[in-house]
Amino acid sequence: MPEPDIALSLQGLTAGYEGPDVLRGISLDVPRGRIVTVVGPNGHGKSTLLRTVSGLVRARSGRVLVGGAEVQALAPHRIAAAGVAHVPQGDLLFPEMTVHENLMMGAYREADAGVIEARLAEVHALLPRLRERHRQLAASLSGGERRMVGIGRGLMAGGAILMLDEPSLGLAPLVIEQIYEVIGRLREQGRTILLVEENPARVAELCDAMHLLDNGEIVWSGPPAELMDRDELLATYLGG
């Protein structure tokens, strides 16, 4: 069997803030065209993991490989240029800017107007509501619409790897379904996604591999269906 084509590889990644390590020896691969999910309780390092990949938090040791090239020592804008788009928790939109302006912020590194237009057409095809509301201020959008702008802005960056930090956070169940429907369509398009989520049941049918993060370490990795059958793991690490 040929080796799978690995878009993103984390190898022994250790990182933290002022104090002790928050991430301790994280290793995982994201194959091209796949969705890989990191699940775990809040406060155990999921957001820190994505921040470390995008360079916002410095790795203390270990490696981050994007398309085989080491990036962990690069500045965040250079990691973004290498193809990593990070959609942060809580959207972090510019509230006084329109939907369109927020989307365009995602493409700030791209100089070619034709490329930007093509990306915008793709985003509008995926998220038609953003086309309808393109002149509306981000501050006046619903929570679900804001989340869609966040995802759209990530796509506007044109990176090979999309990282989504808890896209379901704070949304009503019906809206969560809509957001995961969008991610399902991204999967059909063959996008490569590293997803962080608290609740594995929400994404079990959507992703190709799951890693369980507990207290900064990966304690289990495998196919999502297998995790959903492991009641003792769910009870021990995710409270049932």
Ligand X SMILES: Nc1ncnc2c1ncn2[C@@H]1O[C@H](COP(=O)(O)OP(=O)(O)OP(=O)(O)O)[C@@H](O)[C@H]1O
In angstroms, give the least distance from the CB of 130 to ligand X.
Answer: 25
In angstroms, give the least distance from the CB of 22 to ligand X.
Answer: 4
- Name the DSSP letter for residue 97: S
In angstroms, give the least distance from the CB of 166 to ligand X.
Answer: 6
By CB under 6 A, the count of residues binding ligand X is: 12
In angstroms, give the least distance from the CB of 18 to ligand X.
Answer: 6
Alpha carbon distance 6, 11 (integer Å)? 12
- Name the DSSP letter for residue 4: P
Alpha carbon distance 28, 50 (integer Å)? 12
Site mask, ligand X, residues 149-188, x = CB under 6 A? -----------------x----------------------
In angstroms, give the least distance from the CB of 40 to ligand X.
Answer: 6
In angstroms, give the least distance from the CB of 227 to ligand X.
Answer: 17
User: In 10 A of CB 11, how many CB atoms?
Assistant: 16
Alpha carbon distance 213, 221 (integer Å)? 9
Residue 171: closest CA among 198, 135, 131, 209: 198
Asked if 202 and 181 touch (Cβ cutoff 8 Å), the reply is no
Q: Which is nearer to ligand X, 52 or 130 (CB)?
A: 52
Q: Which is nearer to ligand X, 61 or 189 (CB)?
A: 61
How far, CA to CA in Å, does 224 sit from each of 168, 200, 211? 18, 8, 9
Q: Which is nearer to ligand X, 130 or 194 (CB)?
A: 194
Site mask, ligand X, residues 98-137, x = CB under 6 A? ----------------------------------------
In angstroms, give the least distance from the CB of 224 to ligand X.
Answer: 18
Site mask, ligand X, residues 8-27, x = CB under 6 A? ---------x----x-----
- Interacting residues with ligand X between 31 and 60 (CB under 6 A): 40, 42-48
User: In 10 A of CB 174, how many CB atoms?
Assistant: 8
- Interacting residues with ligand X between 66 and 95 (CB under 6 A): 89
Asked if 42 and 157 touch (Cβ cutoff 8 Å), the reply is no
What residue type is assigned to position 161 of the chain?
I
Asked if 106 and 98 touch (Cβ cutoff 8 Å), the reply is no
| Binding region for ligand X (CB under 6 A) | 17, 22, 40, 42-48, 89, 166
